Copies of this chain bind each other. A is one copy, B any other.
Amino acid sequence: MSDRRALVISAHSADFVWRCGGAIALHQARGVEVTVVCLSYGERGESAKLWKQEGMTLEKVKAAREEEARNAAAALGVRDIRFFDLGDYPLELDRAAKDRLVDVIREVQPAFILTHSKYDPYNTDHMYACEVTLECRMIAQAWGHNPGEKVLGAPQVYLFEPHQTEQMGWKPDVFLDISEVWDRKRAAIECMQGQEHLWDYYTNVAENRGNHFRRNSGGQSGGRNATHAEGFQSIFPRTVDEL
> Residues of B contacting A201 with CB < 8 Å?
207-208, 211
In the complex, are the beta carbons of A166 and B167 less than 8 A apart?
no
Given contacts A121-B236, A153-B219, contact A242 B166 (CB under 8 A): no
Q: Which residue of B lies closest to A89 (CB)?
A: B142
Q: Which residue of B lies closest to A235 (CB)?
A: B121
In the complex, are the beta carbons of A165 and B166 less than 8 A apart?
yes
> Residues of B contacting A47 with CB < 8 Å?
143-144
A200 located at the interface, meaning its Cβ lies under 8 Å from any Cβ of chain B in the complex: yes
> Residues of B contacting A232 with CB < 8 Å?
243
Segment at the interface with B among A74-82, A131-139, A182-190 = A131-139
> Residues of B contacting A158 with CB < 8 Å?
243
A193 located at the interface, meaning its Cβ lies under 8 Å from any Cβ of chain B in the complex: no
A176 located at the interface, meaning its Cβ lies under 8 Å from any Cβ of chain B in the complex: yes
In the complex, are the beta carbons of B27 and A153 less than 8 A apart?
no
- A234 to B: closest C-beta gap in Å: 7
Partner pick for A27 among B147, B234, B243, CB 8 A cutoff: B243
**11 A-B contacts (beta carbon < 8 Å):** A44-B142, A47-B143, A48-B220, A121-B157, A124-B131, A154-B217, A154-B221, A173-B238, A174-B237, A213-B239, A224-B239
Interface residues of A (CB under 8 A from B): 6, 23, 26-27, 30, 32, 43-45, 47-48, 51-52, 56, 58, 61, 88-90, 98, 112, 114, 121-125, 131, 134-135, 138-139, 141-145, 147, 150-154, 156-158, 163-167, 169-177, 197, 200-201, 204-205, 207-208, 211-213, 215-224, 226, 229, 231-232, 234-243
Q: A151-B221, A152-B221 are in contact. List 19 more A-B contacts (CB 8 A).
A: A26-B242, A27-B242, A44-B142, A48-B143, A56-B147, A89-B144, A121-B236, A122-B215, A124-B138, A143-B220, A166-B170, A172-B237, A173-B173, A176-B241, A176-B242, A177-B239, A201-B207, A226-B239, A229-B239
